[in-house]
Each structure stands twice: as structure tokens, then as C-alpha cells.
Structure 1
Amino acid sequence: MTLSLRDLTIAYGGLTAVDRITLDVAEGEVVALVGESGCGKTSLARALLGLLPATATVTGSARLGEDELAGRTDWKNVRGRQVAIVPQGAMSGLSPVHRIGGQITEMLTLHGGGADPGELLERVGLQSAMLRCYPHELSGGQRQRVAIALALAGEPRLLIADEPTTGLDVLTQRQVLGLLAGLGTTMLVVSHDLAGLMPYADRVAVMYAGRLAEVRPARTLTAEHTHPYTAGLLTATPVADRQVPWGSIPGSAPALELLPDGCRFAPRCPLATSMCSAEEPLLRTHGTAQVACHHRAKPTYPVVPRSVHSPGTPVVRVTGVQHRYRARSRTVDALRGVDLDIHAGEIVGLVGESGSGKSTLARVILGLLRPSGGRVEIAGEELTARRGRALRRLQQQIGFVHQDPYDALHPGMRVAALVTEPLTTTGTPRDQRADRMRAAVGAAGLPTTDEFLRRFPGQLSGGQRQRVSIARALAADPLLLVADEATSMLDVSTRAGIATTLRALATDRALAVLFVTHDLGEAVQSCDRIVVLRDGTVVEQGLSADLADAPAHVYTAQLIDAARTA
């Protein structure tokens, strides 16, 4: 069933979030709607589901067949039956206290679907025996497949997938996207991952600051893209090949109250002229594509720097670390004799799919988890044997950057207080705290003005929040920084900026960095060495360039192949 958008506009309190979007999605077609956070793509998706807040106003048209969705008030027989959603976080969309079978049965009853629960699971590539499982007993990829099964329960004519692969490892991402593309359902996939969606979409619609910048068949996007913003998204996507530079779009997308005149991308565009700031470019047809730009030249963006120095002395030494725990009636070996060194000024990437043991090893190195065997040394002092005050003193040498910048910062504390807090807890003299706080904020790539330091987390972008987390980790002047999936929740352009900051810190402060990630492309581009973990075992480690060019282990080769083709 065709979805037809005509001049669809969405505003919040007079501020326009989606500006006159015209787009068609043909029956059975998969269209990827991509762009940075704040571009309006999620607002558009919610409008099609009737999930906008009461303060939002919707004008224009959004027709699914003969049904008008824009401004609709009665969604009883539409949501779930005509249009359904695959949510971003599969765990948040599933009840943790009910079995999978019960949740699917409830959805079938609610929407009148005629399928059998077991058949739905098999359709998404899961065994019917999983109907008796609870969500926490499944992997992230399995939970996302269950979320897809729930969306299909009402046999919808339109499926909206909102960031369906966020937080998943590259192998699982490819499996989930391949599954969605093979369903044969009319689909709008909302994501910030442009390169990852191209093999599975029929067309790609690139959105910036509420407007469409370019709409083009996915197969022609890489070679024939025209808009500078599309080029920026492509170059900002890290590739598992050191011969391909990793670029970064400078600046950030404008807030709704600060939208510029003319082309909204002009303040960040390398090709911008005075005409771009004065005249809004219209979306015009060029062959099989539509592009809103005054120029046809190819832009050049700054690239993420790589190390030019030899690493210093060892800061971290992990020797034979094992960790075993009980899960119900079985014993799980999360780590199996892991060895790892990190030197001053070096960034080491720890990669592997979900469940490989990455986060467990990070917690052991942070002193948050006592291993079953082996030892961890920080600057020559053993961490694993320490307890109480002695452990806390050594932990002050380690900074930590959390995965989710939206949950890591207290919403009621200002930037200055957030960065000063670690100095207070470590007993830094009061007269030194302000200077060290500002130094940490500046080192994290943030402004040190009084206006910025007075801001609350809710007034910051995702990238700024993560930089505040980095500043907190730097405040106590650590020897080691552990970044656990620190960029997985961020836009590709923002991720490149964070990687640039981590490189500057490693070089300027001789900081040892452990970069935990499931994105092998990002590790290849930004890390000096890579350690590949699988089922708690190090299967391969080496220089990033060597590992990317000639992987020795079949599992590493699979990760690299998925990173290059997903």
C-alpha cells in the first residue's frame, strides 16, 4: 500500500521540526529516512503513528492508501493494523516480566491477527521454543527479532522501523536489516546510519534540519550523490579500511529556535556562498534523484587524525584474566584467560559482538568486578588484589566514559558541577577545583565560557553531553580512560568528533585509552591496535592497519566483511 506525503509540516509551540516534506513510498518499497539527531525524522515517523504530543500541530497530508494519517484523532483500527512500528530499543518495547509467547498472543488478540505465535517467530528467524523465554534470556538481536514479530502481528500495510539496529554489533545489524528488507512489506526505516542501510533500501531520503536534502535510489547514492550533506554523512561513516579516510562534518545541526535563512546546511557546508545563506534551495528533480542544493561540486571535509607517535610505557597490564559466573542452572565463562597491554599515548580498540565479554573485561579493569582468576596492573600496581580505600585510590587513576550520554549525567546538575564532582570526591583542594574543571572541559573540546558551564544536560546535544562525560573522566587527571561503547548512541558525524578528541587526549596527555566498541570500522579508523574478543577469548590482536588488511582469524574476517558491506 502506497504512503504519500504532501507538504507534511510538524511544529512544536510555533517551532517547525518538519518543514513541507513531500515523499512517496510505493507498495512493497523500503525507503530509508536518514539524518542526524534533531533533523525531524523521528517526529515524522511519530506523526504517521499518531504518537506526537498534544502540543504538536500537523499540517499537510500523509495518506496510506485511502486513509489520511496527518492530524488523525481515531487510531483504534489504524495503529497496529494499518501501520506498525519496530522500536529503537527492543528491551524497552518488551515487558520484562512476561514470556515472549504471552506478549505475542496479546498483540494478536489486540489487533486481530490470524497468525500462530510460533509461526510469527519462525518468520523472523527464531525457533518457536523461544515462546517460553523471557526477554532477558535473549540476545539483543533476538529481542529485536521479537519486536519485529510483534509489529507484524496485526499484518500492517506499513511498517516503520525507528533506529532498528542501534546498539547492535555489526553482524547482528546485517541480519536484522536483511530480515526487514526481505519481509516484502512497505517500509520506512528511520536511522542515522546512511551507509549501513544502503544495501537493504530501495531508495534513500536524506533529511537535514526538517527538510529533505536529497532523495535517490540507494544503488546510485555512493557514486552519484550530489548534496554536500549526503557526502558528509558518507565520509563520516567509518569504514574498516585504513586506505579510506574517516571524515568529520564540522559543527552541529541547528536547534529549532536557531534555524538559519536560506539553506539550513550552509553554516556547516564547505561549498557555501552568499547565495546559500540568502536563498532556500528547492528540491528539484535530477534524473532519478531529487536534490535541494545550489551547487554540484564535491565538498572536502576534515579527517579524523591518526597517531604519529610511538606508544610510551605500559599503563595497563592484564594477565590471564578469567571470570566465571552462575546463570540459573549453568556456569558461564565470560572471560577465558585474557591478556592485554595498553601503553601511554595509545588507543586500543576492544571489539566483538554482543556477549563476547567486552563489557565484563572493562568492568574488571575498572575495578568494579573481581575476576575469578588472573591479575590487572595499573602503572605497575595490582588492582585485582586491592580492597576498600586502597582500591578506590587506584581507581582514581582510571577515567570512565559511559555508553549513554543521556543517562550518564544528572539532569539537575550544571556542567560546571558535573565536571567538578569527581574532584570533590577525590579530595582535590578547593582552590584548585575551578581551574582543573575548566582545563578538563577545554580538553574535552567544549567551550569554557560561563554561559556554557551554567547549562544543564537538557540544554546540550548528544555529542556535547558525551564530551561532558569525557571532561568528568579527565578531571582527576587519570592515566587510563575506558570508553565503553562511548559513541554507539551518537550520530556518525558526532562520533568522528569524539574520536578526534580521544586522539588529541592520547597524544597531548599521553593518556592510555581502552575503546570498547562493536563497530570494527570505527576501531580500524581511530585505534592504534585492536583486540578481537569472542566468547571471552582473545582470538586476534594487532596493529589496526595490519588486522584490517590481512585478518588471521576467520571471525575477524567476518567482522571486517560485515563492516564493509553492512
Structure 2
Amino acid sequence: MTVLSVDNLRVRIGARTIVDGVSFDVAREKTVGIVGESGSGKTMTVLAATGLLDAPGARVSGSSTLTGADEPVQLVGASPRVLRVVHGARIGFVFQDPGTSLNPLLTLERQITESLEKHRHLTRRAAKDRALELLEAVGLPEPQMRLHAYPHQLSGGQRQRVMIAIALACDPELLVADEPTTALDVTTQSQIIELVRELQRDFGTAVVWISHDLGVIGQVADEVTVMRNGVTVEQAPIMEVFDRPREEYTRGLLAARPVLDRAGPPAVADAERLLEVDGLDVRFAVTTPVGRSTVHAVRDVSFTVRRGTTLGLVGESGSGKSTVAACLTGLVKPDAGTANLAGVDVLHVKGSAAKRIRRRVGLVFQDPFSSLNPRARVGDSVSEPLVVHKLVDGRETRRRRVEDLLDLVGLPTEFADRYPHELSGGQRQRVSIARALAAEPDLLILDEATASLDVSAQARVLDLLSRLQRELGLTYLLIGHDLAVIRQVSHEILVMRGGQVVENRPADELFTSPQQEYTRALLAAVPPVKPRSAV
């Protein structure tokens, strides 16, 4: 039974056509995956099809009919009153960032019971009981206590589980999941995928799953719609898309997926030790409802990074990876330990010496949009380290150096006059890498530097990093949660869990014969090459 039928959907904003003639059907207990790069129109399509599009000057045409068990509703052109009845009751939504989707001022209980009271007319007590059932169903630990918690008191994966509970509160006929696992580590992503599949089996819900990663789509979808520039490029069952993709664009998306069987860089023999970290220990004092306590974020961590190589630092959210990076860059003062960079302890330098040593450690953050000044042109952002460290004299010399850096990361020199919002995500990350390289650091730390990019942009950035390492002999500390991504560029891998080192071995050895159960779990959580239905 068809739950949602979208036919010849078009979206125009001003004179520009954003979505052009998209059609698809979603049946009960089935999942349609909509996949494409950023800007392909996949999210705009689903927002327009469900009546959520609220862009100024947008004009939506075509039809989108919600059928299911109740009376059919034409969602294109529906009145706000009709949409208020449908949204939450018959259509549930799970968006990419649960941190911005959840109200920070309301408890989890109130956010779940709100739709139950509105659409199902339950009493406050009955709604609370239903909220508890939902939190138990989505696998949230200690659900009775969590009812009174606020969103900031949960991890990213836990917040996403709460979003799924809210979306399913009224037993909707259709669930829309817009990149629901992109910001999560691979083990949490695997759990969320399995959770949605279980709930789909239990409640018979139809699902529209939006993603840029065909690897994820392969684990959830029955049918796939591939989009590019607002147009449907390919539409077929999941096995057909993986086995016999008709379009070059689809083949490119498949080739860009991070997979475990892709070989990493060749081993580097007898490379010089550039960074030696010994006994790093970090504790944070936190305030809890029962008083102050201490979080032991990093516990006696030691490792070595060799010149001209990449050390991949892997672990789930909360494992202590980013705290290690913050210590090396001076953002966090450790309680114990040393970190010798070419003979200088970067953890304990002070005064003018600290400024000189900080120049030798570059840092690229996860989100290039928030790490770049939106009011500064690209050229000014890239040249800032040159000015701070007084590396060049004169405006013209500085301009030429900026152009050289942009050329080095594969960007046209005219990008120097653009602002960050005028660039794509992958282009912004290239600017961030150029800025980090401006100070000519000995060590470049990349903290989840590709996690927020779609798979094609991620593949291009990883290729760029590999090329720069070969040409310039750069040394990387690459922090991530996805072992398939880490493998492509890492010579050695350090696995962390709960602030401790679980495993530290050459990449080939770790992937061939992981010694720890936790490492095997991380490997098992990476989406396989073939779709789930092929297993």
C-alpha cells in the first residue's frame, strides 16, 4: 500500500528552478533512499513534498499525496491548518542535527508529550507513560531518569534517539529521516539504522531516508532515487543501483564511499620521530545535579608520530580524541604528561616561546564554516597566520603567498576575494587547510576534518591530503570515528575508548588482525560494500 506518492514535483525560487520534475512512491514498511551531493536538491524535494518548505518566494507545483490508512491529503498547496494536523500525527521528522531540533529549555518528557496531547488528546499522565515507553523502545539508557533531563545532558547519539522517539510518538504512517546519522560516530550510526529498521517492522512505517552516502543508503533502503542539480538522475531498486548503475554520476558516488577494503598508503621505513607524547592525563571538573565531580577525559595516553607519516586517532564520541588535540594546540592544560615536538615540550612552554612553538602545530577543525570568519574574505583568513607570526613583509608579498597556498590546495586564486558563504563545504575545508599550512607547521592536526562533508567532497579532500603529504612531506595527526576513512591515509592507528589507548599498531596489522573486541566492533560498524539486502 502506497503511503506517499510524489508526482512531477517542481520547486522554483525566483527565476531559478531548484527541483525539476521529481517523482517517487513510498509504500508501507518500505524505505526510499534519496541520495546526492550537497546542493543536489534532495532535502528541498522532501521539504516541498511534505509541506515544510518555507523559503521566501518559493513556488511549488506538482502533487504529493499522503494516502495511508486515513483520508488522502494533498500536501502541495495544503493550508497551514491541514499541515498542523498532518505533521507529527501522520508524518514524523528526524533531522540531521538533533541539537538544533530539540528545544534546549524543555525536558525530554515535555518535548515528547507535546504531540501526544495535541494529536492524540492524551491526559498528562497517559502521555508521560507513553513517553517512557518510547524512550525504552529507542534504547535510551535509564529512561525513567532521562524523562526529566534536558537535551544538553545527552550525547549526540542519545539526542538522535530522542528525536526518533518524538517522531514516532503518534505512530505516523511516514517517517522522514534527513541525514539522521551524518554527525554520529559509526557505532552509533549502526545502532540508529538498526533501531529505525526494528521500529519500521514493529509499526509498519514507510520511511524516506535522505543521505549523501550510498553506503548508508545501502543499509536502509529498498528503492533509491539519485539526484543531481534538482533532477532525478537514476531511480531503481537498491541492488540494481549497486550492481548495475546506469549513470556516471551514480558510479562516482559509489566510488567515493569509504570502504575497508581500500588500501592505505605504503609503509614508511625508519622515519624520524617528530612527536612523542608520554603519560598525557586530563581531568575536568563538572557540575552535576548532585554536586561537583571530576571527569577523567584522558588517562595516561602515550604515542609517537613519525615525520612524513599519518597517525590516525580513532574512537567513538567521548573517547578523548579531541581533548588530546586540544592539549597539543594549547587549548587545554593537561594535569600530567609531556609532548615533545622535535625536542621541545609543547605542553609546558610559556611566554614568547609558546607563540613560536604553537606555529609549529597547525589545526583544521571539523566544521569549516564555523572555523572561518564569515565577515572576512578568504584571502584575509589565509593570510592571518602570516601576519600574526610575521612571516612575510609587505601586502604584495602576502598576496602572492596567499595565491600560492590557494593553488596548493587546488583552488583558483580569485577565491581570495570571496567570502566563506560563497563556497561549498569542500571548498571551505580546502581554505581551512591552506590557512593551517600558511605557518608551515611541523605537524598538522585534522580533527574530524572530513566528517561534515558529503562523500564526494570527502574523497577529494582525502586525495588532497595524500598529495600534499607526498609533495611536501607533511606529518598528520588525523582524528576521526570512521575507520574506513582513517585507513585511506593512515600509516599507524591509535584506537581510544573512555580516555584510554585500546590499540596502537601499524594500519595494515590493525585491519588484518585487530586484537581488541572494541576495535572489531568499530570495524563491524562500517557500512559494507554490498547493500544489506545482498547479505
Q: Same fold (TM over 0.5)?
A: yes
2:272 corresponds to: 313
Task: State the alpha-carbon separation in 1 of the partners of residues 357 and 386 from structure 2.
Answer: 15
**TM-score relative to the length of structure 2:** 0.90
- Report the CA distance between 1:207 and its aligned residue: 1.2
- The change in CA–CA distance for 1:2 and 1:505 in structure 2 (over 3 A counts) is same
3-state SS of paired residue (1:77): helix
- The answer to whether the aligner puts 1:29 opposite 2:30 as a matched pair is yes
Question: Equivalences for 1:285-296 in 2 at 5 Å?
Answer: none
1:119 corresponds to: 133
User: C-alpha offsets along residues 120-141 of structure 1, whole Å, 9 cap, x if unaligned?
Assistant: 2112112232112222221211
2:206 corresponds to: 186
Task: Choose which of 146, 149, 153 in structure 2 pairs with 1:130.
Answer: 146
Task: State the alpha-carbon separation in 2 of the partners of residues 311 and 422 from structure 1.
Answer: 32
- Report the CA distance between 1:348 and its aligned residue: 1.2
Task: Choose which of 405, 416, 429 in structure 2 pairs with 1:440.
Answer: 405
1:174 corresponds to: 190
Task: State the alpha-carbon separation in 2 of the partners of residues 370 and 50 from structure 1.
Answer: 46
1:143 corresponds to: 159
Task: State the alpha-carbon separation in 2 of the partners of residues 311 and 14 from structure 1.
Answer: 61
- The change in CA–CA distance for 1:321 and 1:72 in structure 2 (over 3 A counts) is same
User: C-alpha offsets along residues 489-546 of structure 1, whole Å, 9 cap, x if unaligned?
Assistant: 1010111111111112222222111111111100112211111111111111222222
Q: Is the 8 A contact 1:100 1:134 kept in 2?
A: yes
Task: State the alpha-carbon separation in 1 of the partners of residues 182 and 274 from structure 2.
Answer: 32
The AA in structure 2 aligned to 1:317 is E
- The change in CA–CA distance for 1:442 and 1:334 in structure 2 (over 3 A counts) is same
Listed as ranges, the gaps of 5+ residues in structure 2 are: none
1:97 corresponds to: 105
1:76 corresponds to: 84
3-state SS of paired residue (1:430): coil
The AA in structure 1 aligned to 2:285 is R
- Report the CA distance between 1:237 and its aligned residue: 0.6
Question: Equivalences for 1:505-516 in 2 at 5 Å?
Answer: 505-516=468-479
Task: State the alpha-carbon separation in 2 of the partners of residues 30 and 318 from structure 1.
Answer: 47
Task: State the alpha-carbon separation in 2 of the partners of residues 340 and 392 from structure 1.
Answer: 24
Task: Choose which of 46, 55, 58 in structure 1 pairs with 2:57.
Answer: 55
- Report the CA distance between 1:560 and its aligned residue: 0.9
Identity of aligned residues (%): 42
Task: State the alpha-carbon separation in 2 of the partners of residues 72 and 369 from structure 1.
Answer: 53
3-state SS of paired residue (1:132): coil
- The answer to whether the aligner puts 1:343 opposite 2:306 as a matched pair is yes
> Which has the larger helix fraction?
2
More deviation, 352-361/179-188: 179-188
The AA in structure 2 aligned to 1:71 is G
3-state SS of paired residue (1:143): helix
- Report the CA distance between 1:233 and its aligned residue: 1.1
3-state SS of paired residue (2:274): strand
- The answer to whether the aligner puts 1:163 opposite 2:179 as a matched pair is yes
3-state SS of paired residue (1:96): coil
- Report the CA distance between 1:308 and its aligned residue: 6.9
Q: Is the 8 A contact 1:242 1:548 kept in 2?
A: no
- The answer to whether the aligner puts 1:409 opposite 2:375 as a matched pair is no
- The change in CA–CA distance for 1:39 and 1:541 in structure 2 (over 3 A counts) is same
**TM-score relative to the length of structure 1:** 0.85
1:530 corresponds to: 493
1:539 corresponds to: 502
- Report the CA distance between 1:107 and its aligned residue: 3.3
The AA in structure 2 aligned to 1:548 is F
Task: Choose which of 237, 241, 251 in structure 2 pairs with 1:221.
Answer: 241
Q: Is the 8 A contact 2:96 2:183 kept in 1?
A: no
Task: State the alpha-carbon separation in 1 of the partners of residues 363 and 516 from structure 2.
Answer: 30
Task: State the alpha-carbon separation in 2 of the partners of residues 49 and 86 from structure 1.
Answer: 15
User: C-alpha offsets along residues 255-275 of structure 1, whole Å, 9 cap, x if unaligned?
Assistant: xxxxxxxxxxxxxxxxxxxxx
